[in-house]
Amino acid sequence: MDLDARIKRRQNRNNRPRLIQDYEPLSPVAHIAEPTNRGPVFERLLDHLDPAFDGRLPPNAYLYGPFGAGKSAIVKSLFSHLQQLSTETKSVIHTSTRVRSPSPPGFVYVDLRETQTGFAFYHTVLDALADESIPEHGISTETLRDKLRTVLGNERTGVVVAVDHVGEETDTGELVELFAGLPSNMSWLAIGRGTPEETRLSEYTATSIHVDRYQPQMLVDVLMTRASEGLAQQALSHELARQIANWADGSAYDALAALFIAADRANQDQRTRLTEADVDAAIAEIPQPSVSLGRVLALPDNKQLVLRELVDLDETKRASVTETTEAIASNPAVDLSPGTVKRFLYEIAEIGIVERVQASSRDGKGRPPSRVELRFPPTVFRRLYDLKNSE
């Protein structure tokens, strides 16, 4: 928690006891700086990255494990520390008259959820490596790649790129394609869910590191830590945390989503403590299986806008894609043609963020319509979307 948050929290205290002090620590897609209880995984990653400390480039590798095991949190945290270290070391070397001390590689983290095209990928990497700002328009992908080659040519040791969420929108073949034609002083750490074999990443990597789901006790710790940062004192009992943890089956994502919804529900009721009914209701709201809100919140703005309207739509307006389209497109807040809204709905369904469910074929002629059902908990999306768009 940063200082601003601490001060804000003191301010709020004076009004009246507020259950929710801060949504951020409760968010299942926010990663806190130091993930708890993940020491062994850090150690294995550091073993793999060990050559970096001698100024050599580690080979390609693959970190994999189930949904909500903390993979992204671990790598984000680790890479930001390593990058900082790398920058500091380099500046020391620059200002020192003595040479010969090994130059560490650079470390860049790329999330393929936000970086889906080759253009976006090269842009992100380049932006992290170059001091100058990189244009986002009027420049070809090929030019961007050339620039990246040039920058890498000046890197003594090279760069390690963490590529998160391989296998969602971007598969192994596309990953390899992105690195094709780039200098060999660039290696990658892929992160995904599938095993090295089923993703064929074993063909490209020397090392695979597996992350296991959380043990229930670890999840309880995670929940208590987040609750202490985001909620009023004593709002979450140890017993309720245990219930959530047991249900979540090792997924910190699911556990935090449940906590978030339960807290929101209690807050609506003007209570300052969570009850078992809050938790039950929360669990009922989370679809199984569900898709990460990280993916939802990484969609283009207008697609998120369509979803934001969708989650508030009356049940009766959701009977068919056509009806849903009309309801959303007729909203003045949505400046899109009905055709586009419909297109978006189909595309969002195609990638599994909503699911088309065929109506029990009844009256009428022609192909029976289908309605869309959410594959993510609406309460969390609603709050996070509104928070993000109110700033």
Q: Which residues bind DNA (CB under 7 A)?
A: 117, 119-120, 135-142, 300, 302-303, 320-322, 336-337, 339-340, 343, 346, 349-350, 356, 358, 361, 365-370
| Contact predicate 367/322, CB 8 Å | no
We find the least distance from the C-beta atom of residue 143 to DNA, in angstroms, to be 7
> Cβ 291 to DNA, closest distance in Å?
17
Nearer to DNA, 124 or 379 (CB): 124
Supply the DSSP string of 117-172, one letter for each residue.
SHHHHHHHHHHHH-SSPPPSSS--HHHHHHHHHHHHHH-SS-EEEEEEEETTTB-H
Residue closer to DNA by CB (options 190, 348) is 348
Helix (H, G, I), strand (E, B) or coil at 6: helix
CB nearer to DNA: pick between 141 and 275: 141
Between 165 and 226, CB nearer to DNA: 165
Cβ(174)–Cβ(201) below 8 Å: no
- Beta carbon of residue 68, minimum distance to DNA (angstroms, whole number): 28
Looking at beta carbons only, is 228 or 302 nearer to DNA?
Answer: 302
Cβ at position 336, least distance to DNA in Å: 4
Contact 190, 63 (CB under 8 A): yes
DSSP lists the bridge partners of residue 63 as 191, 209
- 207 CB neighbour count, 10 Å cutoff: 16
**Nearer residue to DNA within complex by CB, 315 or 363:** 363
Give the integer Cα–Cα distance in Å for 239 and 235: 12
Q: How far is the CB of 352 from DNA (least distance, A)?
A: 12
Direct distance between the N- and C-terminal alpha carbons of the chain, in angstroms, rounded to an integer: 19
Q: Which is nearer to DNA, 210 or 356 (CB)?
A: 356
CB of 328 to DNA, least distance (A): 11
CB of 322 to DNA, least distance (A): 5
Q: Residue 248: what residue type?
A: A
Nearer to DNA, 21 or 325 (CB): 325
Helix axes 301-311, 321-329, angle to 10 degrees: 110
Structure tokens at 280: 């039950």
Report the 3 state secondary structure along 46-105: HHHHHHHHHCCCCCCEEEECCCCCCHHHHHHHHHHHHHHHHHHHHHHHHHCCCCCCCCCC
CA angle 30, 165, 303 (to 5 degrees): 70
Rounded CA separation 143/83 (Å): 26
Cα–Cα distance measured from residue 226 to residue 229, given in angstroms and rounded to the nearest whole number: 5
Nearer to DNA, 242 or 356 (CB): 356
Neighbours of 125 (CB within 10 A): 27
